[in-house]
Structure formats: C-alpha cells, structure tokens
Amino acid sequence: MSLENILSQLGVGSKDTVYLSVTPGVGLELIQLDIQSRTVKNYAYRPLEYNESLREITDIEAFKNAVNELFEELKINLKSNVVLNLPMVLLGSKELPLLLGDDAIQEALTSEVEQSYIFKRYEPVVSWCDSNNMQAGDSRKLFYSAVQKNVIEDIKNALTELGITLAGVEMSLTSILKALAFSGLAEEQMKDNVSWNLMLITPSGYSICSLVGKTIVDYYDEPLAIKSFEGDEIYNAINASAQITLMSYPANYLYIISETDMVSAELLAKRLQTDSIVNYLENNSFKKQDVLPVSLEILEDTAHKISLEAIGIAVGSNIAMPVKFNFMVSSTGEGGVKEDPNEPVHVVLGANEFDISPNAARNVALLIAVIVIAPVLAAFIAIPMFAQQKQTQLDDTKAKLEQTNAEIKRIQDEQNRANDFDVNAEIKKVMTNNRSKLMGYSALGEAVPKKVFLTYFTAADDGNFDIKGESDNVEDIYVFFKNMKDSLISTQLRLHKLEMKSDSVDEAVTIDPNQPTAYEFEITNMSTAALNRLEKALAEKAKQAAEGKGDDKKDKK
C-alpha cells in the first residue's frame, strides 16, 4: 500500500499551494510559476475594487466570487492552500533595547502602529523582524508592518467558505522586491554593498525605500493627491517634492516603479533631477514588455496584466529577503494572527504535502503508538517530567527578565528626568523645519513672474508662509499664486488679499487713466488671527526701531 493511500485512510488529504494577489489597478490575480525555467505557467485575473483611502477590499463578497471564478477557470481544486499578497498599509522602523522580550516588543510596536489614522479605528495585526546587521550598543533596529485584523479575518472566512485554507499573508513591498530579484531586473542594484533607492509611485503618493543590496535600511512615505493634478502638473509636483527627499538618501542607483496609470515611470525618470543612475519599470498600462516569459496558453493581453506583486508572492521562499513579513504567523519574532487550534495542520513529507485534521492527527498518533509501543510509552512518561522541569526553569527566567525590564525602565525614567534634551528629536525637528523652508525658498525662486515684486516673505518653523508684494497686472499675480500652490502642495496656500495700492482715500477714489494701476496682494496659509498677531508684532518691532533711532539723535545732540 502506498504512502498516499495509508494517509488517505487516516483522513489526511493532499493539497496544492496557490498564490493570489490583490493588486490595485489590476484586481485579483491568481498565478503559478515554473521556478526552474523562471516562467509563468498559469495566470488569470478578475477586476476587484480596492479602497485606497481605507486600505481594504471594497466588497468581500466580490472577492469571494472572484476567487471561485479564478479557480474554476484554471481548473484548480478548491481544497488548496492560498498565500495572499495585500497592498501595503503601513511600514516603519523603531530602535528598541536588546533586552526587551518578544511580548514587550509586540506591545511597543502595537502602541506605535495605533498612532496611524487607520488603526485608530481598526485593531492592527503587527508583523516585525530584525533589520539585518543594524545593532548599535544596547539597542537594535526593527522593521514593522501592519494590516487591519478585520481585513485578515474577512478574507480568511471568505476562503474557508469555499473550502480554501489561508496559509499566509504578505505585503506588496516585499513581494515587489522578490519579483525584482527573481526576474533579474535589479541584478546590479541588489549586489552586496551597493546603495540604491526604490521609488514607488501609487495613486496616493510616492514612497522611497532605501536599500543596500537586498537589505532595507530606511523607508519614507510622502502622501500626494495625484488624482487632483492634470497633465504634466503631477510630474512637476513629484519632482519638486522628491528632489529634496532624495538629498537625504544619497545612493548609486534610483529605481522608479509606477503603480498608477496617471504617472509614467519613463517620463518621470527623464524629468527627475538626481545624481544617481536612474532605472525605471512600468507596473501599469504603460508597460511595454513582460517581466517574465509566459506559457503559450496565456493570451498576450492577459500577460500584460501580470504585476510585480503577483510574481513576487508566487516566488515564495525561493528568493530570500532579509526583511519579510507574514501576517498569518504567530511564531516568536514575527507577530501575526494566531492560528485556530481546530484548523488542519499542513505537513510536508518528501515530495508530498498534506493537511492533517485534529482527528487524523490522533489516528496517526495511535498508529505510531501501536508500532513503537514500549519505546514511545517510556518517552511519553519521561517527556512530561522533563518538560515540567524545563517549564519551571523557563518561568524563573521570565520572572528575572521582567525584573530586569522593570529596572531598565526605572533607569531610563531617571535619565529622562535628569536630562529632558532629546538629541534625536531635536535633529529631526531641525531637519523638518529646514526642509520646509528650503522648499519655500526653492518654490519662490522659480515662481515669481517678471512684473511681480515681493515686499515681504516669511517662512515659520511650523510650516506657515506669508508673502506680500505688488504688481501692475492682476493676471501676473494669479500666475504667481498658482505657481506657488503647485510647488508647495501640502501647505494649503490661499490668496488672502488683492486690492489696489493707494496711500490715501483720495487716491483710492481718484484714478488717473494715464498712470498704471498698482495692486497689492498677500498670499498665506496662516489663519486671520495668526496674521493679526504677526501684523501687531511687526508694528511693535517697527515702533521700537523708530524709538531707538530717536534716542540716538538725542544722544548726538
């Protein structure tokens, strides 16, 4: 009798692993790769709406129907395991003491994640891992990611109703990196000790992932209302914003990938000013060639839909990345959703994969007990005693660790009380303020028309701007105002004042047709109350200066 027949009688069934990707702009993708030949052997997709604001599938019932249709189209058994790629919701990094245990780390990162606007409404599932070779002194750097717990549970329940087991959930950034490595498209960039930046353009903005080889060293996300721009305005906006950001991440290469049909990675690569060697890839409708060869059974139009995320999730463990996340794993150091104890356990025996239900597991244990008898019986007697001893030791160790953590916290609190100056916070504050002002000065230099004269400009540390000036042409004033809004997108500038310039009531009433009319204007993002306080402060300063000059004249007499 064969192994499969024996296991079948014990209630154990063989299952295939299928890879799905929820990809905005494409929908739901089902893909299977031939790892040896590095080709796509099976692929299909269905449109699926994804809410970019809430970062979730719009209709879970539509997702369930799409899964069922894809399995039917490719003739795949529903009794399968699924590994799913989801769009990234949040990614960050944090330095924590080396002595912190996994439970304390999980609590600290969960508290950090809950500061995000999405997770103020929904409970997060946090997955984290150590950053490769980034330990300094008594601390270590961790990268963490999170998704909504209700999203994972809804997807899991929808698949369970179809008879499918959700075996893993990963996020889009790591899937894209695995696809670039597997396809060889980033071979030069992913060599050891080579620094490079991955710039991802999405419908909600852009992000820059700074890497050395395959190791992520930093991550920056810049929200940008891309849909609010028309034509070439979006390229100017990204260029103005990214130039300053890229100055903080010097690297040998810049790799641009566009995930939205509103932005061409090729056009952006030509316009972006940087000292790095620029490569680009269209992961949208501008795509001109496939990332991987496909089988003859896949139509050409369908092949163009294959996304980097789908390829990356299907690569599985064949490409090892230092930073990876799985939101279905509950093992130490990774976080994730705890597994249901009543769900089947996936087992690999040689070339065969099996799912063992709790009842089947008991049958297997009974069979082993009958065959082995004495040695196993002795082991069952000895192991609990040994386990109890080790558990006692483990409890003692945990108690000592809790005491140590409490002592560390006490010492840190004392140090904080002794010295409230936070060097890192101050550095970050200075960099943020300087970056905001630098963007203002840069925009001002590029936006002033020839016939517009500025009489006053201020850029405050809190991101507030106030600009005053004159011109004999209203159209030039509006051109200047539009240019400033396009360059300083996130500052919410408004035209606060536009009126004819006059020194008296008589001049305002009497208009000489032979003389050009002068107009005064003020552009700001400050509130009326704040402007009043600023005007009062300037007037007070002018008064003090005038009084000082008067005192000097008296002293000379």
- CATH code, 485: 3.30.70
Give residue 227's Cα distance to chain centre. Answer: 19
DSSP state of 294: B
CA distance 48 to 20: 12
Taking each continuous run of H as one helix and of E as one strand, the counts in the chain are: 15, 22
For residues 390 and 360, the model is more confident at 390
The total number of structural domains in the chain stands at 4
Q: Which residue in 96, 94, 129 sits closest to 412, CA to CA?
A: 96
- pLDDT of the residue at 96: 87
Same domain, 409 and 270: no
CA distance 392 to 395: 5
Same domain, 343 and 478: no
- pLDDT of the residue at 432: 60
CA distance 540 to 239: 41
| % residues pLDDT > 70 (the chain) | 78
User: Residue 359: CB partners within 8 Å, gap ≥ 6?
Assistant: 11
Give residue 333's Cα distance to chain centre. Answer: 20
Same domain, 175 and 276: no
Helix, strand, or coil here: 216?
A: strand
Whether 350 shows a pLDDT value over 80: the answer reads: no
Mean pLDDT (the chain) is: 81
Whether 139 shows a pLDDT value over 90: the answer reads: no
- pLDDT of the residue at 330: 42
In-domain check, residue 398: yes
Q: Tell me the per-residue pLDDT of 72-82, one tens digit each, with 9 for 90 and over.
A: 999 999 999 99
Strand pairing partners for 294? 40
Same domain, 27 and 97: yes
Whether 11 shows a pLDDT value over 70: the answer reads: no
- Residue range(s) defining the domain that contains residue 383: 373-418
Same domain, 33 and 102: yes
427 falls in which pLDDT band (50, 70, 90)?
Answer: low
- Average pLDDT score over residue span 280-304: 90
Same domain, 220 and 113: no
CATH number, position 56: 3.30.420.40
Whether 68 shows a pLDDT value over 80: the answer reads: yes
- pLDDT of the residue at 33: 94
Helix, strand, or coil here: 443?
A: helix
Same domain, 161 and 304: yes
Q: Kindly state the tokens that stand for 124.
A: 């997060």
DSSP run (H or E) holding 130: strand 124-136
- pLDDT of the residue at 307: 94
Contact 180, 307 (CB under 8 A): no
Q: Tell me the per-residue pLDDT of 241-276, one tens digit each, with 9 for 90 and over.
A: 888 888 888 999 999 999 999 999 999 999 898 889
8 falls in which pLDDT band (50, 70, 90)?
Answer: very low
Same domain, 206 and 259: yes
Contact 40, 31 (CB under 8 A): yes
Scanning 143-183, the segments in alpha helix (DSSP H) are 149-161, 172-183
- pLDDT of the residue at 80: 92
Q: What pTM value is reported for the model? A: 0.60
Whether 483 shows a pLDDT value over 90: the answer reads: no
In-domain check, residue 29: yes
- pLDDT of the residue at 193: 92
Same domain, 406 and 488: no
Write down which residue in 256, 271, 290 finishes a domain: 290
- pLDDT of the residue at 383: 78
- pLDDT of the residue at 209: 93
Same domain, 94 and 211: no
282 falls in which pLDDT band (50, 70, 90)?
Answer: very high
